[in-house]
Structure 1
Amino acid sequence: MNPVNTQAYRLPANAVWLITGCSSGIGREIASLIASKPNQRLIATARNPSSLSYLPDGNANILKLALDVTSVSSVDAAFAAAAKHFGNDDDGAAFRLDVVVNNAGYSLSGDTESATEEDIHQEMETLFFGTARVTMRAVEVMRRQVGDRRGGLVFNMSSLAGLCAFPGHAYYHAGKFAVEGFTESVAREMHPDWNIHFCLIEPSGVKTNFDGHSKTHTQPHPAYAASDMPSRKLEAYVNQGIKSGVGMIEPSAVAETIVTIASRGECVPLRLPLGPVCWKLAKEKFETLLKEFDEVKELSAMGQQI
């Protein structure tokens, strides 16, 4: 397979960052951190730009834009506005994009059998198709850049949910698993000379305001209501963990890790499980998978040598 991220990534001193989903949580923390760095330039986006009021006005290095990742026209408009604002800058370069963080998304949980067509499509549009369309628009810009500014770094926000699947979150897992496969495939398409790097950020539970559109529930289904159902057991466990805060990651820590990866001048990992919970559960899942492969080796071989 074509290797990925084989060269060290060098963050430019006056890099342009585009971040989706900046209204709250991880996106807000990343945007705030970049905005605090005098030489870095920020394109902060949200479906409702009024939610970006925490960022200062009147700073030429900060551009606040409306962006709905589920809308092609909205993505087109945001990239056009960014090009107009940051194009032909002081070093004579046309619009460039150095770092993109695809953070927009929300969790859909509950009884999968009760999910509506609208629930399903909106979740996949936001988690997967939104990430895919912003990623490919960014790749188009990054590969066309010239000289030592050619290339860039794309962070796609995945999750423990993109590595392991749990009951009651089927379409959230579907979206995150899709982001994982899409990102790995696209990363392997890049020519080394393009200098385009990818990183999947895979946190476990994060201390964010999971309310409103950030966490949506399907309607309860009576067939799954009993307390001994797997989804109900997991809900109780997760709610207890959220209340106690044990194992939960601060969104500021995720933001700082992303900036560290971008700025440390080393090769970028394709995948980064964040937090002890994610690292342990993901490792356990893949170790179990290897054992399961061994158990079906004869069937897999179909009479041939493995």
Structure 2
Amino acid sequence: MSKVVLITGTSTGLGQSLAAKMAELGYVVYATMRDLAKAAPLLEVADRGHSLRVLPLDVQNTATIQNAVDTIIREHGRIDILVNNAGAGFVKTTEMAIEAEMQWVMDVNFHGVVRCTKAVLAHMRKMRSGRIINISSVGGLVGQPFNELYCAAKFAVEGYTEAMASYIQPSFNIQFTAVEPGGIYSEFANSVLSQLQADGGLAEGDYRGVFEQYLGGIQQRTPEQTARLYQTAEQVAQVVLEVVESDDPPVRVRTSSWANEFCAYKTDADPSGKAQQKMVIDTMLHANH
């Protein structure tokens, strides 16, 4: 029986690549996005005879999440895999960010993950089976200049994933993994760079010097350096697929050698997060073991 997959944020980049790849491999894929006008590439995959359906879903809108989940349950009776991929970059100093922006970056990147997880959890718990993969970032492990609010949201995703893995997984056989890419060649990355270059306010006042250092570092990368840092969406999708198909998935995984090097001080002692997971379970749920 083919597994049923719900993926958020599939209009471009990693989400689109993953949805197409999984459909081609025989999964029953529900690819979701805010703007169905961007659905054409995935509809072409469906037209080739693969089981892929596009549904509207905005991770900031609980009603759209519930409608999508209800549709899938009505049509298939279960959701085996949730990939929380939808997210948005944000590059601005804390002093420059307005209240609405601070709320938005956390809502899209963290609260959206929680909303979608909450919507599927009861169905997976009933089955005593499921897999939830949260697309995080190396920015969820290592804070970076001018990315503090985005990093904070991804740090939240990391903590949420670890906490859910500590008791939902052993109690209900629902496995959680945070996937941590470095750079991805995508509309996401291009939009962040465009934001950087367009937002002249960052280059004024006391921040100007350090901002120019940061932007200059990006602009001066050699092709070889860029090739090490960035992956294609297809390469990252392959790592996600390996997590999906693993019998014993990691709690966290980086998607490239560069990402592993960048996060080494945080991850070398426990690259997969499994040792920390076991320690937490043994320490805090010891009465059940």
Question: TM range, normalised to the smaller chain?
Answer: 0.7 to 0.9
State yes or no: 1:207 paired with 2:185.
Answer: yes
Per the alignment, residue 128 of structure 1 pairs with 110
Q: Are the aligned partners of 1:111 and 1:219 in contact in 2 as well (CA < 8 Å)?
A: no
Cα separation, 2, equivalents of 1:254 and 1:127: 18
Per the alignment, residue 37 of structure 2 pairs with 50
Cα separation, 1, equivalents of 2:54 and 2:172: 28
Q: Which amino acid aligns with 1:51?
A: K
Q: 1:58-103 CA distances to partner (integer Å, 9 max, x unpaired)?
A: 658222111110111111111122223x23xxxxxxx111111101
State yes or no: 1:79 paired with 2:88.
Answer: no
Q: 1:231-278 CA distances to partner (integer Å, 9 max, x unpaired)?
A: 4322222334496632211110111111122224x2110010121221
TM-score normalised by L of structure 2: 0.82
Secondary structure in 2 aligned to 1:114? coil
Q: Which moved more, 1:214-223 or 1:105-114?
A: 214-223
How do residues 27-176 of structure 1 correspond to structure 2 at under 5 angstroms?
A: 27-37=15-25, 39-56=26-43, 57=46, 61-84=51-74, 86-87=75-76, 95-145=77-127, 150-176=128-154
Structure 1 residues 126 and 193: CA distance shift in structure 2, 3 A:
same
Q: Are the aligned partners of 2:90 and 2:192 in contact in 1 as well (CA < 8 Å)?
A: no
Q: Are the aligned partners of 2:89 and 2:150 in contact in 1 as well (CA < 8 Å)?
A: yes
State yes or no: 1:254 paired with 2:236.
Answer: yes
Normalized per residue, the structure richer in helix is 2
- The partner residue of 1:272 within 244, 253, 267 is 253
Q: Which amino acid aligns with 1:54?
A: P
Equivalent pairs counted in the alignment come to: 260
Q: Which amino acid aligns with 2:6?
A: L
TM-score normalised by L of structure 1: 0.78
Q: 1:111-139 CA distances to partner (integer Å, 9 max, x unpaired)?
A: 22101111111111000000111112222
Q: Which runs of 5+ in 1 are unaligned?
A: 1-12, 88-94, 289-306
Q: Which moved more, 1:236-245 or 1:118-127?
A: 236-245
Cα separation, 2, equivalents of 1:213 and 1:237: 15
Q: 1:203-249 CA distances to partner (integer Å, 9 max, x unpaired)?
A: 1111112345897556624224533x1x4322222334496632211
Per the alignment, residue 281 of structure 2 pairs with none
Q: Are the aligned partners of 2:79 and 2:120 in contact in 1 as well (CA < 8 Å)?
A: yes
Per the alignment, residue 157 of structure 2 pairs with 179
Cα separation, 2, equivalents of 1:263 and 1:233: 42
State yes or no: 1:236 paired with 2:216.
Answer: yes
Following TM superposition, the consecutive aligned residue runs of length 4 or more in structure 1 with deviations greater than 6 angstroms are none
Q: Which moved more, 1:204-213 or 1:73-82?
A: 204-213
Q: Which runs of 5+ in 2 are unaligned?
A: 270-289
Higher relative contact order structure (alpha carbons within 8 Å, sequence separation ≥ 6): 1
Cα separation, 1, equivalents of 2:117 and 2:194: 23
Cα separation, 2, equivalents of 1:202 and 1:156: 9
Cα separation, 2, equivalents of 1:163 and 1:249: 18
Secondary structure in 2 aligned to 1:236? helix
Per the alignment, residue 14 of structure 1 pairs with 2
Deviation at 1:192, TM superposition (A): 2.7
Q: 1:134-169 CA distances to partner (integer Å, 9 max, x unpaired)?
A: 112222210112xxxx31111101100000001101
Structure 1 residues 213 and 96: CA distance shift in structure 2, 3 A:
farther
Q: Are the aligned partners of 1:105 and 1:214 in contact in 2 as well (CA < 8 Å)?
A: no
Q: Which moved more, 1:269-278 or 1:187-196?
A: 187-196
Structure 1 residues 81 and 112: CA distance shift in structure 2, 3 A:
same
Q: Which amino acid aligns with 1:75?
A: I
The two structures, once aligned, show a CA RMSD in angstroms of 2.4
